[in-house]
A and B are shown apart, each in its own frame.
Chain A
Amino acid sequence: MEIVVCIKQVPDTATVRFDREKGTIIREGVQSIINPSDLHALEAGLSLRDELGGKVTVITMGPPQAESALRDALSLGADEAILLSDRAFAAADTLATTYTLLKAIQKIGLPDLILCGTHAIDGDTAQVGPGLAARLGWPSITQVAGLEILDTGTRFLVKRLIEQGYEMVEVELPALLTCHKSLNRPRVPSLKAKMRARKADIPVWGHEDLGADSGKIGIKGSPTWVDSTFVPAFEAKREMLEGSPDEQVDALIVRLKESGLL
């Protein structure tokens, strides 16, 4: 089975700090990591390959330093990695990103399966996976929390999370799935793969390599733009309720009704 996994390098939100005046992330000293749910997509790809054979190719669009995320993916056992990096790709919104990913996947050759994370922890749009599927005209199944192989790998029975519970969906390949963190437990890197990864040759493709229409990539291809960013103010009001527990409950109910919560 030929599998493409799309990953994104993001700042580690566990260590991230904000510049409250400028309303931006302080990037200095913040580690970059593979977006958490992308690790579950990669794990899904690797275990499908381990079971069915084939190849896992990992791609990412990002600045040159995103190469380290690809080396991490190779250390986990991915077979190949490709970096999509070009100044012309910069400031892409999800529309331009899905176009760029589409061109790259067409250049690689259409796989049987594309796996993405559910959403990136920085932008948090959850649009790139489904957007890419739309461009391909492929079925897209989001929030995948379970996966069963049917008919030796031509179809999957997929468990997908919805707000009220879950749905079981049958899908014929090719398809695109976005993987939820409850799908699996990502593996750790192996020493042998890590040694291979350190020396691996990671091709870098720019817009010319992709034959991409320069009006559809980067900031030019992005109808959405960021107007401003700010750190939301968090103002908590505190009020101590007096009296017996019953009186306090009554007082609390009054306040909840006043604020329209009850």
Chain B
Amino acid sequence: MAEVNYFLNEEQQMIVELTRQLAREKIIPVRARLDEQEEFPWDLVKDFAQADLFGLFIPEEYGGLGGGCFEMCLALEQLAYGCVGVTTTYAASALGGYPILLFGSDEQKQRYLPDIAAGAKLAAFGLTESTAGSDAAAIQTTAVEEGDYWVLNGSKQWITSGGEAEIYTIIAMTDRHKGPRGASAFIVEKGDPGFSFGKKEKKMGIRASSTTELFFDNCKIPKDRLLGRRGMGFIIAMRTLDQARPGIGAMGVGLAQAAMDEAILFARQRVQFGQPVIAFQAIQHMLADMATEIEAARALVYAIARTIDTGIKDMAKLSAMAKLFATDMAMKVTTDAVQVMGGHGYMADYPVEKMMRDAKILQIYEGTNQIQKNVIGQALNKEYAKKA
């Protein structure tokens, strides 16, 4: 049966091939164990590093492959086909690396990007706090200039790869009275004085990824760790998320594809009333919806990622659309995959149970899907104000 032609070039096909191989040979055999034991996948991180994947989005001059948002989406889709928990660790390193790539000085790029590209060091991104999630302007962590140093105080919550990563991009308030324009972004390294980690959270899904608190207790970092200019913290955070969100959509596409593949495999074998359950229209219609919605989400994510790679400036709306549509789709498709498989689907012996748990986070992290709708809605309001 013909498949949709997305006109990938040779390099892009190779990325798909390689990440598909990684998912099949390295991730799938261990995903159930990693999930059950909440084990951080260091072996797989080494595999991703060996495969050059951590450098996919980093320019060649810093040791990367110079890929864009689209190449990242291709890789994330295939890796998420294997396990969203494992893929989250990979995606988080990119999320921590983007601020340095997009806003770092040449010196900062030289210092951090080659290690991130080589996978020698994982990166992480710290924005969320206990009282500041969707309302990012409510963050309490402060950074105060003291001589040649910045001194950070406060804490971050639910930080992916906390404790495991070496390089952290942290958003902290430098001028509270300026509101959102009073935030700045800093690079904090594991081992900096006054920087420590809280307990590892227990989660519904993506249990192979590490999620912890970060504590800053008079954490003293050199002046040159400020990213961009003072006061640019929110712009840096928003631009970073704009860049990364289509990748979360791509993870939804890969996850949903995996769930549908399992459901179809099962439905072709499971016999009830004397025939495989796939022969029943009730099942066929569910599978038809799944397949159609997956392809629609894939087409949207790819088209938006490619548009972003043309260098457009105002990408917030498109990026939010890719994340919103594809991750809501993933939640629905994984839920339906469990339904198609009935009692079997609900059992941990079959992978769709984990897939459904993993899908939920995609609607929550890197901005809840309600926040994505705010972003899209505000952009529409602005666009139409100009037209009026």
Of A185, A187, A189, A192, which contacts B65 at CB under 8 A?
A192
- Looking at B21, B26, B47, B50, which has the most chain A CB atoms within 10 Å of its CB? B50
The interface of chain A, by Cβ under 8 A from chain B, is 185, 187-192, 194-195, 198
Of A185, A189, A192, A198, which contacts B21 at CB under 8 A?
A189
Give chain A residues whose Cβ lies under 8 Å from the Cβ of B26: 188
With A188-B21, A188-B26, A189-B21 in contact, is A194–B50 under 8 Å at CB?
no
- Looking at A185, A190, A192, A198, which has the most chain B CB atoms within 10 Å of its CB? A190
- Within 5-40 of B, Cβ neighbours of A (below 8 Å) are at 10-11, 14-15, 17-18, 21-22, 25-26
The answer for the CA separation of A192 and B49 in the assembled complex, in Å, is 12
Q: Which single residue of chain A is at the shortest CB-CB distance from B22?
A: A188
A-B contact pairs, 5 of them (CB 8 A): A188-B21, A188-B22, A191-B18, A191-B51, A191-B56
The answer for the CA separation of A192 and B53 in the assembled complex, in Å, is 10
Distance from B33 Cβ to chain A, minimum over Cβ atoms (Å): 16
A187 touching B11 by the CB < 8 A rule?
Answer: no
The answer for the CA separation of A198 and B18 in the assembled complex, in Å, is 13
B50 touching A191 by the CB < 8 A rule?
Answer: no
Give chain B residues whose Cβ lies under 8 Å from the Cβ of A191: 14-15, 18, 51-53, 56, 65
The answer for the CA separation of A185 and B30 in the assembled complex, in Å, is 14
Give chain B residues whose Cβ lies under 8 Å from the Cβ of A195: 11, 14
A187 touching B52 by the CB < 8 A rule?
Answer: no
- Looking at A185, A188, A198, which has the most chain B CB atoms within 10 Å of its CB? A188
Distance from B13 Cβ to chain A, minimum over Cβ atoms (Å): 10
Give chain B residues whose Cβ lies under 8 Å from the Cβ of A187: 47, 50
Give chain A residues whose Cβ lies under 8 Å from the Cβ of B18: 188-189, 191, 194
With A188-B21, A188-B22, A188-B25 in contact, is A194–B47 under 8 Å at CB?
no
Distance from A119 Cβ to chain B, minimum over Cβ atoms (Å): 21
Q: Which single residue of chain A is at the shortest CB-CB distance from B56?
A: A191
Give chain A residues whose Cβ lies under 8 Å from the Cβ of B43: 185
Give chain A residues whose Cβ lies under 8 Å from the Cβ of B51: 188-191
Of B14, B22, B52, B53, which contacts A198 at CB under 8 A?
B14
Give chain B residues whose Cβ lies under 8 Å from the Cβ of A192: 52, 65
The answer for the CA separation of A192 and B18 in the assembled complex, in Å, is 11
Distance from B118 Cβ to chain A, minimum over Cβ atoms (Å): 11
Give chain A residues whose Cβ lies under 8 Å from the Cβ of B22: 188
B50 touching A188 by the CB < 8 A rule?
Answer: yes
The answer for the CA separation of A190 and B65 in the assembled complex, in Å, is 11
Q: Which single residue of chain B is at the shortest CB-CB distance from A75?
A: B18
Distance from B17 Cβ to chain A, minimum over Cβ atoms (Å): 8
Distance from B60 Cβ to chain A, minimum over Cβ atoms (Å): 10
A sample of 17 more A-B contacts (CB under 8 A), given A188-B51, A189-B51, is A185-B43, A188-B21, A188-B22, A188-B25, A188-B26, A188-B50, A190-B51, A191-B14, A191-B15, A191-B52, A191-B65, A192-B52, A192-B65, A194-B18, A195-B11, A198-B10, A198-B14
Distance from A59 Cβ to chain B, minimum over Cβ atoms (Å): 23
Give chain B residues whose Cβ lies under 8 Å from the Cβ of A189: 18, 21, 51
Q: Which single residue of chain A is at the shortest CB-CB distance from B49?
A: A190
Give chain A residues whose Cβ lies under 8 Å from the Cβ of B15: 191
Distance from A103 Cβ to chain B, minimum over Cβ atoms (Å): 34
Give chain B residues whose Cβ lies under 8 Å from the Cβ of A190: 50-52
The answer for the CA separation of A194 and B22 in the assembled complex, in Å, is 14
The answer for the CA separation of A191 and B47 in the assembled complex, in Å, is 12
